Amino acid sequence: MEIIAIILLILLVGSMLTFLIDSFSSKLTGITAFLFSLAASVVFFTQIPSGYQFKFQLAGLDLQWGLTDYSYYFAYIIFGMSVLALLYSIKYMEGKGRLGYFYGSFLLTILGMFGVVISQDFVSLFIFWEIMTWASFLLVIYNAYYKVKTKGVKYMIFSAIGAYAMLTAIVFIRVHYDTLLISEAIAKGAFNFEQYIYIPIFLLLGFSIKAAVMPFHVWAPSAYSKSPMSFTTIFSGAMSKMGVFGIGLVFTSIYLGTNPENFYWVRTILGWLGGITAVMGTIYALIQTDAKKLLAYSSVAQLGYIVVGLSTGTKLGIMAALYLTVIHAVFKGALFMVAGAVEKQAGTTDMTKISGLIRRMPWTFLVALVSIIALAGMPPVGGFVGKWLLYEALITESNNYILVVVVFFSSTAAFLYSYRFLYGLFLGQEEKDTKDVKEAPITMLIPMLILMIIAIVSGAVPGLIFEPAAKAMEAIGFQDVTWQMSSLTNLWGDTTNLGLISMLIGAVFVIVFVFITLKGYKNTKDVGTKDISTSGEIPKEWENLSFQQDFFQPFQRAAAPLYSMNMNKIWKNLGENLEAFFGFFRKLYTGNGQTYALYVVIFLVVLLLFKDVIFS
C-alpha cells in the first residue's frame, strides 16, 4: 500500500476511532486523537521525501497525489500545528461534552488539509477541499448556541460560494485544456490571465475566500472567535494558509515568467485587496473588547500582509509571504492558545471583565508577551523578519509605493491592539474575581512554550525557515533564491545583521537588568496594584480601576471615516436585496391550478409565435 494512503488512513481511522471511544471514556479521546496525529506526522516526516508522487485511476479519471517542495512547506505547518494543537486540546477540552464529535472532526480537518496540499489533480483537490470545509464547519458550530449557528452558516455560505467558484473553474479547465492535472494545466497556461480570464479569476475567488481576503473576510472574525480555541489555532494558523497555498499556486504562471511586469494589474488589484484587508482587520481589531475577537480580526489583517507579499511577485515578496505564513501560524497559534488558556482558567476572555492575570499566570503571560512582540514585528523576535522582508520587497522591488504606506499604517496600528491584548488580559488592576485563578496545566503550557521558542529562535536565525521556503519558491518557478542564515539583504545590497542585533539586545538587557535590580535592592519594594497614586484616594477592593471600554477612542475619532465602511453591512444589504429579488420569482407559484394552466397556455402561444426563431 502506498505510504501516502497510509497517512490518510491513519487520520481517517483515528477520526472514526475517537468518535467511537468517546462513548466508552471521554478522557481517552483526546489522547487517542493526539497519538493518531503524532503517528501520522511521524510517518509523514520519516517516510515521505520531497518529490514523492503517486498516480492511480479512479472512475476513469487520472488522479495524482504527491509532494513538491512547495506543498511540503505547507505540510510542515499543518502537521506541526496539528500535533501541538491536539496536545493542547487534551486539557483544554477536558470537561466539555461531545468530545468524539470534536476530535473526530478535528482529525478529519487535518486529513482534508493534508489532502489539499498533496493533491496534484483538480478532482482530489476539490474533494479534499470540501472535506476540510465541512469538517471545519462542524467544529465552528461545536459551541452550538443560537448565535454560533448563524455565524457558522455565514462561514458555510461563503465557503460554498468559494467551492462553486472553484468547481466552475475546474470544469472550464477540463473543457478548454482537456486535463485535470495541475502541473499540466500550468504548463498549458490555464492559469494565464490572457486567454480564458475567468478560470484564474474563479480559482482566485475560491482560494481568497478561504484566506479571508477583502471583501470576503466577513465570515472570518466570528468563525475564528466562536469555535473552540484549540481548533482556532489550526483554523487561523494552518487552514487559512490553504487559501495562501492556492493563491500561490494560481500565481505560479505569473512567477514562471519571472518578469515583474507580468500581469501587473492582477497583482495590483490583489495587492490592494490585501492591503485594505490588513487595514480593515487592524482597525476593527483595535476596537474589540473580547480578546478572542481581537485575535480573529488580527488574523484577517495578518493574512492581508501575506496576500500583499504574494502579489508583489518578486523574490523578496514571496519569501516574505512564505515566511509570514509560518511565523503567523507560530505566533497566532500561541496567542490563540493563550486566549484559550485564559478562557479555561478565568472563565472568560472578555477584557472588560478580567484583568491583571500576570501574577496568576506568569508563564502564559511570557508566551503572550513574546508572541505579541512577534505580532507587532519588533526586532529581536521572528515577526520583524517578515515585516522587514515585506517592506523591502515593496520598496526596493515593487513599484507600488502607496501600498507600502498602507501596509505600514496597518502594522503601526497593530501596536495598538497588541498592547490592548496584553493590557486587557494580563496587566492592569488585579481584580477580586481573578484572585484564585491558577496557571494553565502543563500540557497546555508545553505547546505554547514550544511555539514561543520557535518565535524567538526565528528572530535570530531566520535561515531555519528560509531554507525550506527557498526550496518551496524554487518549486514554483523561481531560480537562484538567495538567503542567509542570520542576516537579511535586500536588492540594493544593504544588510541587516539579525544575529548581531539579538546579541546586542541580549547583552544590553543583561547589563541594565542587573543594574536596575541590584541598585538599592533592599530598598526596592514590589507593591500591589491597589497601591497607586489616585490623588490620595484608597481604591476599595470592589472598585474596578481598569480602563477597558473605548480604549482607543482618540484613534477611533481620528479615523472615523475608516470605521464608516462596514463590509458586513454591505453583504447584509446584498442578501436582503437578493431575497427580495428571488421573492418575486416565488410569487409566480401561486398554488392556483388556473394560474399554472395560464402559464402553459402562454408558453404554447410564445412557442407558436416564435417557432421560426427558435427552431430555425
Partner 1 sequence: MEGILFKIFGAFITALLAFTVGMLFGGLRRKVIARAQNRVGPPVYQNFLDLLKLQSKTTNIAHGFMGHMAPVWIIIAAMTTLMFIPVLQGDLWFENLTMKGDLIFLLYMMVFGNLGMALGAGQSGNPNSVLGVSRGLSQLVGFEIPYFLAITALMLQFQTTTIAEFLNIQAETGVWIVLQNPFAFIAAVLASLGMFMYAPFNIVGAPAELASGPRAEFGGKYLGTMMTGGAVFAFIKLVLMVDLFLGGAGNNNLEGIAGTAVGLLELLLKTFLFYMIPVFVAIVSPRYRTEQAIRFFWKWPTFFGILAIVWALYKNGTFN
Partner 2 sequence: MDNNKNIEQVSKIKTIGIPTQEEIKQAQIDFSPRCTSAGRVNDKETQKMVEYIMNFARKHSLFVLAYGTGCGAIEIPATMTSRYDAERFGMRGAATPRQADVLLITGYLSTKTLKRVIRVYEQMQDPKYVIAFGSCTINGGMYFDSYNTINALDRYLPVDVYIAGCMPRPESVINGIVKLQGLIQNGNAGGGKCYKDNLDWYRENQQKVIKNWDFPDDYNW
Among the candidate windows 64-72, 203-211, 225-233, 529-537, which touches partner 2 by CB under 8 A? Answer: 529-537
User: Would you say 527 or 560 has its CB closer to partner 2?
Assistant: 527
Give per-residue burial for 171-198: e unless 16+ CB within 10 Å, then b: ebbbeebebbbbebbbebebbbbeebee
Of residues 496-515, those binding partner 1 (CB under 8 A): 496-497, 500-501, 504-505, 508-509, 512-513, 515
Q: Which of residues 585-604 bind partner 1 (CB under 8 A)?
A: none
- Pick the closer one to partner 1 by CB: 77 or 406: 406
DSSP 429: P
549 binds partner 1 (CB under 8 A): no
Q: Which does 536 bind (CB under 5 to 8 A by kind): partner 2, partner 1, none?
A: partner 2
Determine if 171 is a binding residue for partner 1 (CB under 8 A): no
516: cell is: 536596575
Place of cell 472514526: 16
x-marked contacts with partner 1 along 336-365 as a string, rule CB under 8 A: --------------------x-xx--x---
Q: Tell me how far apart the alpha carbons of residues 184 and 178 are, in angstroms, rounded to a whole number.
A: 10
**Contact stretch for partner 1 (CB under 8 A) within 53-61, 97-105, 477-485, 528-536:** 528-536
Which residues are within 8 A (CB) of 585 and not within 5 positions of it... i.e. 6 or more apart?
none
Q: Give me the residue label for grid cell 462596514.
A: 566
Identified binder of partner 1 from the candidate list 46, 57, 482, 523, rule CB under 8 A: 523
Q: State the DSSP H helix or E strand holding residue 559, giving kind and residue range, or none if neither.
A: none
Cβ proximity to partner 1: between 14 and 380 the closer is 380
The stretch among 57-65, 150-158, 182-190, 523-531 that binds partner 2 (CB under 8 A) is 523-531
Residue 438 CB neighbour total at 10 angstroms: 9
- Contact between 380 and 502 (Cβ < 8 Å): yes
What CA–CA distance (Å, rounded) separates 462 from 473? 16
Choice from 525, 542, 588, 593 touching partner 1 (CB under 8 A): 525
For partner 1, what does the binding mask look like between residues 373 and 412, x meaning CB under 8 A?
---xxxx----x--xx--xx--xx--x-xx-xx--xx--x
Interface with partner 2: number of residues (CB under 8 A) = 9
Residue 539 beta carbon to partner 2: minimum distance, rounded to whole angstroms: 10
Residue 499: which residues within 8 A CB-CB, separation 6 or more?
Answer: 460, 461, 485, 486, 487
Q: Which is nearer to partner 2, 436 or 526 (CB)?
A: 526
525 binds partner 2 (CB under 8 A): yes
Tally Cβ neighbours within 10 Å of residue 62. Answer: 14
Residue 524 or 566 having the CB closest to partner 2: 524
Instruction: List b or e across 533-562, with b for residues whose CB sees 16 or more CB atoms inside 10 angstroms.
Output: eeeeeeeeeeebebebeebbeebeeebeeb
Find the shortest distance in angstroms from Cβ 264 to partner 1. 14
Q: Does 484 bind partner 1 (CB under 8 A)?
A: no
Q: By C-beta, is 53 or 534 nearer to partner 1?
A: 534
| Shortest distance, position 526 Cβ to partner 2, whole Å | 10
Rounded to whole angstroms, the Cα distance separating 219 from 221 reads 6
Cα-based angle 294, 350, 213 (whole degrees, multiple of 5)? 20
The rounded Cα 96 to chain-centroid distance in angstroms is 25
Q: Choose the binding region for partner 2 from 263-271, 287-295, 404-412, 527-535 (rule: CB under 8 A).
A: 527-535
Distance of CA 122 to the CA centre of its chain: 23
Looking at 186-194, 280-288, 345-353, 533-541, which segment touches partner 2 (CB under 8 A)? 533-541
Instruction: Tell me the one-letter amino acid at 126.
Output: F
Residue 577 touching partner 1 (CB under 8 A): no
Instruction: Return phi, psi of residue 615, to 5°.
Output: -100, 15
Residues that bind partner 2 (CB under 8 A): 525, 527, 530-531, 533, 535-538
